[in-house]
Amino acid sequence: MTARLLKSLRVFAGGTAVLALAFVAVPGDRARAQDGDPSAPQLRGAFPPDTGRDVPTPQKPGPTLPANTTVVPRAPGADGTNTTGGQVNLVALLTVDGQRIDKGLVWRIYASSRDPRAPSKLLMTKREASPTIDLEPGDYIVSAAFGRADITRKIAVTAGTATSEKFVLNAGGLKVKVLVDGVEPAANTVAYDILSSERDQADNRVRVLGGAKPNVINRLNAGIYRIVSRYGDANAKVEADVTVEAGKLTEATVSHSAARVTFKLVARAGGEALPDTQWTVQTPDGQVVMQSVGALPTHILAPGTYSVTAKSTTGAYKRDFTLANGEVAQVEVLMQ
């Protein structure tokens, strides 16, 4: 796939931005001609003029084919015999008039069921870019997947024909770059989810991809998506809306504000950290941000004011603290 830069979206913490032949049958004359009655309807065309040549019989028009279907006579088999089945060549395109997808495709062919409630039976899976398959005459459901972009539709197979079926995915690419204080964070400290603009019955966005890594191109159907990026394991989170266009690459950059904090429970200031301590960090309104267990747990938090509770065998101890963007802090909780 040839990719080119479409645009760049920069979003800071707390902000959201959008890059973004039918035939008509005419009944004939039903009345019969009567001799000597000029007003009677005449059966026009019933008796062609005698020209001394055979008159060809008019052919009925065939069915109209879907726009993405091309049918040609199927060649005889290797032994010179005619086959009773049909042959289908599957082709996937990024856009209607765009380039052909030549790798990364997964094709799934299902038997078509007359009962819409019945699950479709998977017949085969193909991972070639443009497979040619033999099928018995009938209807089938074909799904083409290109990363997270996909399209599914029904095809019809006719005996003795070779059919070319085109699937237009209207797919594009999304590449997300993540920065923390202007630089890229360490590997495995940041990941993001991609949510669709559609919502489920609970009015929540549908997750298209979870745990995606930065600087990786994700193939998606064209549309509007929301990026939810998380740095660390707590509440350092950024959300942004992006628009993916078919046949193009969208690049988005999200910038996190965060601080790193280490907790320790001590009997006196500057003392040794006590083991097996249970930690709970909350916002001023009592919302739990994270929980952990250990002598010196380290977490990444969004800048702000918090309270931390350390619970040990001797009791529970609490302290309030404030973190600034980019700060690396150690918070001691005294047993008193």
Q: How far is CA 66 from the centre of its chain?
A: 25
Helices within 53-137 (DSSP H only) = none
CATH of domain 259-334: 2.60.40.10
Q: Are strands 315-323 and 328-334 parallel, antiparallel or unpaired?
A: unpaired
What is the number of other CB atoms lying within 10 angstroms of the CB of residue 311?
Answer: 16
Residue 218's φ and ψ, nearest 5 degrees, are -105, 125
For 278, residues 6+ apart whose C-beta sits below 8 A from its C-beta are 291, 292, 293, 310, 311, 312
End-to-end CA distance of the chain: 64
- Sorted by where each begins, the domain ranges of the chain are 5-19+171-256, 69-168, 259-334
Q: What is the DSSP letter of 20?
A: -
What is the number of other CB atoms lying within 10 angstroms of the CB of residue 165?
Answer: 21
Give the pLDDT confidence of 122-165 residue by residue, as tens digits: 999 999 999 999 999 999 999 999 999 999 999 999 999 999 99
Give the pLDDT confidence of 59-108 residue by residue, as tens digits: 444 444 455 555 545 444 544 444 578 999 999 999 998 889 999 999 99
Query: How much is the pLDDT for 63?
Result: 44
Residue 302 exposed, middle or buried by CB count within 10 Å (0-12, 13-18, 19+): buried
Give the pLDDT confidence of 153-163 residue by residue, as tens digits: 999 999 999 99
Query: How much is the pLDDT for 85?
Result: 86
The architecture CATH gives domain 5-19+171-256: Sandwich (2.60)
Provide the edge-to-edge strand list for the sheet that holds 328-334. 298-301, 259-266, 328-334
Nearest Cα to 280, choosing from 263, 267, 303? 263
Please give the chain's pLDDT, 336 residues, in tens. 333 333 444 443 444 333 332 333 334 433 333 344 444 333 333 334 444 444 444 444 444 445 555 554 544 454 444 457 899 999 999 999 888 999 999 999 999 988 878 888 999 999 999 999 999 999 999 999 999 999 999 999 999 999 999 999 999 999 999 999 889 998 889 999 999 988 888 888 899 999 999 999 999 999 999 999 999 989 999 999 999 999 999 999 999 999 999 999 999 999 999 999 999 999 999 999 999 999 999 999 999 999 999 999 999 999 999 999 999 999 999 998
Q: How far is CA 215 from the centre of its chain?
A: 18
- Report d(CA 68, CA 90) in Å as an integer: 10
Query: How much is the pLDDT for 154?
Result: 95
Q: Are 259 and 303 in contact (CB under 8 A)?
A: yes
Longest dimension (CA), the chain: 128
5-19+171-256 and 69-168 agree in CATH topology: yes
On whether the pTM is more than 0.85, the answer is: no
Can you read off the two tokens belonging to residue 225?
A: 């998506």
CATH of domain 69-168: 2.60.40.1120
Can you read off the two tokens belonging to residue 191?
A: 């990941």
Query: How much is the pLDDT for 113?
Result: 84
Q: Are strands 328-334 and 259-266 parallel, antiparallel or unpaired?
A: parallel
Paired with 263 in beta bridges are 331
Query: How much is the pLDDT for 277?
Result: 97
Paired with 328 in beta bridges are 260
CA quadruple 40, 42, 47, 51: dihedral sign: positive
Query: How much is the pLDDT for 202?
Result: 81
Q: How far is CA 110 from CA 113, 144, 155, in A?
A: 9, 12, 10
